[in-house]
């Protein structure tokens, strides 16, 4: 009997989830921006791709999408020329033009007949050179892609940032997510037939998590009623990014407020969405916005190039006007284990449904979209400025795809700076710059509060 699983190495876990949930209105593609000085030579970067990049993971392989499964296959006509594109921005070739270009890249599907990645070389961005990399999420997540970039420039072993990856001392939310991830792996391992799925899904969920009741909790989780952020997704996307924020200033705020940068970022996002909702005429009294935040669940020694992520949910306190109240509300929410456990089964639900026909996957996507409005990712970037072919990289940003929500926030740090990138569905949120502006206003408000606290502390001495 013909066995689909004999054709090649099977995609498993979230690698398969990101493939199977790739739809025209929600392409599962990660976009990375790197900006260099005008003397940067694209030929040097091309050489790095040809000599090293294609030998990582499955980057020389294409994906064969079959009924109920998917597998990797060598591209018999592989050529780097199929993965490089040179482009010129329309004048004046400044940030708005580059953002428009990135939005178009995010909305354009990668060639299914080839390995699904592409590098766009922009030759005239604001008297600089820019590289826009588009990589299908089935190949790797942000942490894996960051490791590859460090390896390309020969700094992986020297750079300190990679030591921040979670090791044995995982946080509570990371431990819970990792358990769920293991369950998803067990559930989809070994080529189980579709007829076996109901038995195995129940068996492993119960055995691996002990969360049978949580499945009911997830199914009955109240819908997130924020009309302005809801709607049927369109094809076009808006990809924008913020001016940089001094990381040292953010760290000083964490010291004064006894919190983390993540608490501050989530508070400012809540404040920005509060202002945006009020501007749109929404009644936000006693209303929060449910978000999910991606979590890296790798162990320290796990260097595999693939997706090792999970999710936890948090209701952003958009009902609170005071930024300090929001910070401590968020801090309290994240510290509670039950807030992390509910969405463990979201990953399992996606993994199971990824084996079923497109119509079932679409129904699962629609169901989740009623529960969640915003996706948030926070990737550890590069502590110091890095160079490619001895040319320093000036800017670094990345965007994650949107699937069951219309808005995705991506934080990253680079060279002691912090930036925020937003991917939004143009049909639903056509003005994400407004949200970034409100986010920066919230950051400024917190900076002023911290400055006053510092003055008060000095005067009391």
Tens-digit pLDDT profile for residues 387-409: 887 889 999 999 999 988 999 99
- Calpha distance 386→392 (Å, rounded): 6
Same domain, yes or no: 322 and 366:
yes
Same domain, yes or no: 91 and 122:
yes
3 has pLDDT over 90: no
Same domain, yes or no: 95 and 12:
yes
Q: Which residues of 230-260 are buried (b: 16+ CB within 10 A; e: fewer)?
A: eeebbeebbbbbbebbebeebeebbeebebb
Q: Are 96 and 433 a contacting pair, CB within 8 Å?
A: no
Residue 371 belongs to some domain of the structure? yes
Q: On the CB side of 439, how many CA atoms lie within 13 Å of its CA?
A: 22
CA-based nearest residue to 19, from 109, 82, 107, 96: 109
431 has pLDDT over 50: yes
Of 95 and 294, which is predicted with more confidence?
A: 95
**Under DSSP, is residue 40 helix (H, G, I), strand (E, B) or coil?**
coil
CATH classification at residue 250: 3.30.559
In tens, the pLDDT along 350-374 reads 777 788 888 888 888 888 788 889 9
Note the pLDDT of residue 157: 34
Note the pLDDT of residue 444: 96
Tokens of 46: 């091309």
Note the pLDDT of residue 226: 65
Same domain, yes or no: 195 and 139:
no
Q: What percent of the chain has pLDDT over 90?
A: 51
Note the pLDDT of residue 107: 97
**Under DSSP, is residue 133 helix (H, G, I), strand (E, B) or coil?**
strand
List the domain range (segments joined by +) for residue 416: 172-379+406-460
CA-based nearest residue to 421, from 396, 394, 398: 398
pTM reported for the whole predicted model: 0.83
Same domain, yes or no: 92 and 191:
no
Q: Are 323 and 268 a contacting pair, CB within 8 Å?
A: yes
Same domain, yes or no: 120 and 205:
no
Note the pLDDT of residue 117: 97
Note the pLDDT of residue 152: 74
Tokens of 374: 């915003």
CA-based nearest residue to 255, from 40, 453, 122: 453
Same domain, yes or no: 260 and 301:
yes
36-50, 91-105, 340-354, 379-393: range with highest mean pLDDT: 91-105
In tens, the pLDDT along 110-155 reads 999 999 999 999 999 999 999 999 999 999 888 788 878 877 766 4
- Calpha distance 102→134 (Å, rounded): 9
Distances (CA, A) of 99 to 37, 236, 256, 422: 18, 13, 35, 10
Q: Are 269 and 290 a contacting pair, CB within 8 Å?
A: no
**Under DSSP, is residue 125 helix (H, G, I), strand (E, B) or coil?**
strand
φ, ψ of residue 239 in degrees (nearest 5)? -120, 115
Which residue among 164, 188, 213 closes a domain? 164
Work out how many domains the chain is built from and give that number. 2
Same domain, yes or no: 157 and 238:
no
In tens, the pLDDT along 37-53 reads 999 999 989 988 988 88
Residue 397 belongs to some domain of the structure? no
- Calpha distance 182→350 (Å, rounded): 14
Which residue among 164, 184, 213 closes a domain? 164
Same domain, yes or no: 194 and 159:
no
Q: What is the mean pLDDT of residues 329-339?
A: 73
Q: Are 215 and 352 a contacting pair, CB within 8 Å?
A: no
181-195, 213-227, 240-254, 369-383: range with highest mean pLDDT: 240-254
* Residue indicated by tokens 């006509």: 77
Which residue among 132, 164, 196 closes a domain? 164
449 has pLDDT over 50: yes
Note the pLDDT of residue 190: 42
At residue 222 the predicted structure's pLDDT band, cuts being 50, 70 and 90, is: confident
């Amino acid at each position: 009997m013909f066995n689909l699983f004999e054709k090649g190495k099977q995609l498993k876990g979230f690698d398969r989830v990101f493939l199977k949930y790739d739809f025209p209105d929600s392409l599962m593609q990660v976009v990375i921006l790197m900006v260099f000085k005008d003397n940067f030579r694209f030929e040097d970067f091309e050489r790095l791709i040809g000599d090293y990049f294609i030998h990582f993971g499955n980057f020389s392989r294409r994906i064969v999408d079959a009924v109920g499964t998917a597998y990797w296959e060598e591209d018999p006509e592989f050529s780097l020329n199929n993965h490089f594109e040179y482009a010129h921005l329309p004048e004046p070739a400044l940030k708005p033009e580059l953002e428009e270009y990135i939005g178009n890249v995010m909305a354009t599907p990668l060639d299914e007949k080839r390995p699904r990645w592409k590098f766009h070389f922009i030759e005239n961005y604001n008297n600089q050179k820019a590289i826009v990399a588009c990589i299908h999420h089935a190949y790797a997540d942000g942490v894996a892609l960051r490791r590859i970039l460090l390896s390309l420039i020969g700094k992986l072993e020297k750079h300190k940032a990679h030591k921040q990856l979670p090791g044995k001392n995982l946080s509570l939310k990371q431990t819970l997510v990792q358990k769920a991830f293991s369950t998803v792996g067990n559930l989809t391992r070994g080529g189980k037939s579709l007829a076996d799925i109901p038995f195995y899904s129940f068996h492993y969920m119960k055995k691996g998590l002990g969360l049978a009741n949580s499945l009911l909790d997830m199914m009955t989780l109240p819908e997130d009623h924020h009309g302005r952020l809801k709607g049927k997704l369109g094809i076009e996307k808006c990809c924008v990014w913020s001016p940089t924020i001094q990381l040292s200033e953010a760290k000083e705020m964490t010291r004064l407020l006894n919190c983390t940068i993540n608490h501050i970022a989530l508070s400012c996002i809540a404040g920005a969405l509060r202002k945006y909702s009020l501007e749109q005429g929404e009644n936000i009294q006693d209303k929060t916005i449910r978000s999910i935040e991606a979590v890296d669940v790798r162990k320290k020694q796990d260097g595999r190039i693939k997706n090792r992520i999970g999710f936890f949910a948090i209701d952003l306190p958009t009902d609170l006007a005071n930024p300090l109240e929001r910070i401590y509300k968020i801090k309290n929410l994240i510290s509670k284990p039950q807030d992390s456990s509910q969405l463990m089964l979201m990953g399992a639900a996606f993994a199971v449904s990824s084996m079923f026909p497109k119509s079932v996957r679409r129904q699962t996507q629609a169901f989740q979209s009623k529960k969640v409005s915003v996706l948030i990712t926070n990737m550890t970037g590069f502590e110091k400025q890095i160079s490619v072919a001895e040319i320093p990289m000036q800017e670094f940003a990345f965007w994650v795809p949107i699937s069951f929500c219309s808005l995705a926030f991506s934080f990253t740090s680079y060279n002691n700076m912090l930036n925020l990138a937003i991917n939004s569905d143009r049909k639903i949120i056509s003005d994400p710059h407004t949200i970034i502006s409100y986010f920066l206003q919230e950051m400024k408000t917190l900076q002023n509060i911290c400055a006053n606290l510092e003055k008060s502390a000095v005067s009391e001495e």
